[in-house]
Structure 1
Amino acid sequence: MKYEIRRARIEDAESLANIIVESWRSAYIDIIPKDEIVRFLDKERRQKQFEKFIQDDEIILLGTCDDIPSGLVFANKDNDEGLERCGAIYSIYLLEEYWGKGLATKLMDEIINILKKEGCKRASLWVFESNIRARTFYEKHGFIFDGTKKYSHFSNKPIELRYILDI
């Protein structure tokens, strides 16, 4: 398998939308109520969101495997929690068939390098408490649960945990 990680371009928006929608179907079907998850599975709406993010010069990386768009990571050098010099990783998603094959590690390594270059000393992310697979991945990459929890906005109120990595 040949992986490539690069900054997303406007013409990648459709592929990014497909990755995020299909990964939500795989990763969150047992976490988010089915009647609510449907709102997040609209590929056309997601494509428009990514087009705007790319036009606004947000940090979005596309990962390909043998030239097939397979994963993404979306981050920002500024977080919305007032954490000093701490970048935020908002999304890291892969199509299910690429889980556990090394692409997520390549995406994570690259986004951390970019956040470092942007002057960040730490990176934060939120993960559902019940998403053990994702939590294990983050912990393997050095992220530590900092004790901060919040209830998600979904009706079943799944708990989200904040993880921090010193970079």
Structure 2
Amino acid sequence: MGIEIRTATKEDASNLANIIVESWKSAYSELIPKDEITRYLDKERRKIQFERFIEDGEIVLIGLFNEVPCGLVFANKDNDEGLKNGGSIYSIYLLEETWGKGLSSRLMDQTIEILKEEGCKQISLWVYEENMRARKFYEKHGFIFDGSKKHSRFSNKPLELRYIKCL
């Protein structure tokens, strides 16, 4: 019982798809217009996406709480940010019923360790400005808003902020 974090396999792809889709419903229902968010809730499409990430050797972790798949991280030792020796965390999602139970911190800690072992000197991630819960979580784990901002691709253009953690 308790928390288990492990590298995801292709057999986990359906569970990963379920986690990300259900998490989007919980986390973004107030941030992204409903007609647009539904395009991202196709579990089969997400399953295929995770199978490809795993096949490509990306960092994909799955978190289990009491043996039930409830969380995920998708990261990469490369980055789109032009950061020297920098990695990126693209996704960290948990089912709402496990928020606040320590699973997200364990996922984050393990991801940071993997990126450090891969030679990363810093890690970047983007978070919606209005997502205060996530921002506080990242700050608790040593990430700092570096001043970079961009508008999301959604029609209401929610602002995203870049956070950096130096390792």
TM-score, normalization by structure 2: 0.99
How many residues are paired up? 167
The whole-number CA distance in structure 2 between the counterparts of 1:73 and 1:54 is 12
Q: CA deviation at 1:66?
A: 1.2
Q: CA deviation at 1:28?
A: 0.2
* 1:59-98, Cα deviation, whole Å (9 max, x unpaired): 0000001110010000000001211111000000000000
Counterpart of 2:8 in structure 1 is 8
* 1:15-69, Cα deviation, whole Å (9 max, x unpaired): 0000000000000000000000000000010001001111111100000011100
Q: CA deviation at 1:2?
A: 0.9
> Could you tell me the percent identity over the aligned residues?
69
- Give matches, 1:47-62, under 5 Å: 47-62=47-62
Counterpart of 1:93 in structure 2 is 93
The runs of 5 or more residues in structure 2 that have no matched partner are none
Secondary structure of 1:63's match? strand
- Give matches, 1:70-85, under 5 Å: 70-85=70-85
What residue identity is the alignment partner of 1:102? G
Secondary structure of 1:130's match? coil
Most deviating of 78-87 and 17-26: 78-87
Secondary structure of 1:149's match? strand
Is 1:67 the equivalent of 2:67? yes
The runs of 5 or more residues in structure 1 that have no matched partner are none
The whole-number CA distance in structure 2 between the counterparts of 1:8 and 1:42 is 20
Secondary structure of 1:123's match? strand
What residue identity is the alignment partner of 1:96? E
TM-score, normalization by structure 1: 0.99
Counterpart of 2:42 in structure 1 is 42
- Give matches, 1:83-122, under 5 Å: 83-122=83-122
Following TM superposition, where does structure 1 have runs of at least 4 consecutive aligned residues deviating by more than 2 angstroms? none
Secondary structure of 1:31's match? coil
The whole-number CA distance in structure 2 between the counterparts of 1:116 and 1:26 is 31
Q: CA deviation at 1:159?
A: 0.2
The whole-number CA distance in structure 2 between the counterparts of 1:53 and 1:108 is 18
